[in-house]
Structure formats: C-alpha cells, structure tokens
Structure 1
Amino acid sequence: MDLNISPCWKQLLLFSLLLVCVNGQMAGPSFMVTFPAVIESGSEARLCASLLKPNESLVMNIYLVDDNQSTLLLQEKAEEEFHRCFNFKAPLIEAESVQKMKVELQGQSLKMSEERKVMFRPYHPLTFIQTDKPIYIPGQTVNFRVVTMDKNFSPLDQQ
C-alpha cells in the first residue's frame, strides 16, 4: 500500500500522537477530527474522526456550518473507541468561502463541542491550446489541440 503523505501531514500526525500519549492519563473521553484546511469546491473531501476512552454510550455529530445553515456530515454512536475516515462532497461555491466544522460529543453525563474553520475554494480547471508550429505562413492550415486539465494536470473527461 502506497501512502502519499506530505511532510506537513506527517508532522501533524506525529503531534497528534504525542498529544494523545501526553494526555493518555486523562480520565474522560476525548476525540480528534482531522480534515484539510482548504478544500476544493465540489470535490470529494476526506474527514477522519477518532474517539478515545469513552466511559459511556456517546454520540459524535460532525456538522459543516455556513452562517446559520448546518449540514450533518457524520453521526456516529459508540460505546467503545473508534477511528473512521470517510469522504464527503464539498459544497459548490462561486467564490472563496470560510465555513466551520463543528464537532459535538454527547452522552448522559458529558457534552463537548469544538469548532474549527475550513476554507472552500472554487474549482478552476486549466485549458491549454497548442499548435503544431510556432509560426505559420499566410494561407497555411492551422492545426491545434485543446486540452483541459485539473489541478493535478490530469486531462478532464467532461464536455
């Protein structure tokens, strides 16, 4: 299995693991949710959630909040530790938008909540036009091709 993890993500993961180790003596439950700080509009984004040391039946809700509109991304009921990752569809936007991810953890005797910002950027594919020669003589046929590519420079397969 090939894991393509950037150095920044490796440092974040290492910091998270160290934080869990240092706080490993905490009595109550704790949670961690990870997601990219910047997400492309309309793309499939990945979100991971972990629950550690639950001492009762807990419900974890993860919302995407834009102004006063809230969209439930995940609802997980658990009585034991878990770590799950899943994909969600990023909202379609016209201009850059800063929204919030809100995580709520609730049980009979516990209620925890945390919010973090996430930026959504509009999708702008790149279009390249290429000719077969740099200079043409008047009357010559101009041959060209047009290719539209995504941010990874892969050709798009759409009209």
Structure 2
Amino acid sequence: MSDASEDYSRTFGGEALGARLRRLSERIDRDGTRIYAEHGIRFEQRWYGVLRQLVANGPMSVGQIAAALHISHASVSEARRSLEKAGIVDNTPSPEDGRRRMLTLTAEGRTLWDSLSPLWDDFNTVAKELNDEAQDVVRLLDRLDDALARRSMYDRIMDKVSARTMTR
C-alpha cells in the first residue's frame, strides 16, 4: 500500500514522463483558466494557438493550423468547433477550393484578441521567468521533442516488445 503523500510522478522519474508532462500541462492550464475567470473572461487555453495563427497569418484551414502548431487535425477541429460556438471564428469556404474550409476571426474574435493581448504579455513574461527559474526547461523540452522526432515513442516501445518476444 502506498503513502497518499507519495508523489508517483517524482518517485518513478523518467518512467512517469507522460504523467509528469500531463500534470504540468494541467497545472498551467488550470492557472490560466483561473486568471481568465478572475477577469470575467470565458476563454479556453486550447484556443490560444489557433487564434495566434489566425492573427499572424489571416485565414487558414484546420490542416494548416495543425501543421503550424505540430498538433493533430482532430485537436484543431475540436478547438474550431468551440471557437465557432463562442462566436470567435467563422468557418467559410476557401476561395481557391470550395471543398476546403477556412477559419477566420470574427469581429468579436478580433476584439477578444486585442483585449487579451496585455494579459497575454503578462502570461509570456511569467512563462519566461519560470523557464529561467527552471534553468531553461524549454531547451530540455526541445531536446525531448527532437528525440521523439528522430524516433517515436511507439517505435521505441515496439522494438522492446519485438526484442522480448524474439528471446522467448
């Protein structure tokens, strides 16, 4: 039986890599949500990357945004649906290919972006301070990202499974 105060993620070190990354992501997202709530703003953390791309690049497809953010098409599609429901983005046919849909900021979305920009400056300043305090953890995350780009977790695990089954 384990002690309730034991920190699983820290106890297992690298073996709990996914659990640790999820926990940190949840903690950051939870604090962001609290900040928005304190300011009376309904905003979901997962919207930021999509909005950032639309502000920087103008109309984009879900696939283009997913590629730019290096996340799944499904994640961007899910964010798109909630952004549309909130009236922050529109989904219109592409002028070049009517089968493809383009996301654009609505006037409400542009106003939201403009009103949140000073708050996001504070988010960015604190993120930089945390990165400095953690002795450039972003550089280490880049190294992890690069290692996974060279060889996925899936491929690495499947090699272990294959090696184990071959030795039987």
Give yes or no for TM over 0.5: no
Structure number, greater radius of gyration: 1
Q: Relative to total residues, which structure has the larger helix share, 1 or 2?
A: 2
**What is the TM-score of this pair, normalised by structure 2?**
0.30
Which is strand-richer, 1 or 2?
1
* Higher RCO (Cα < 8 Å, 6 or more apart): 1
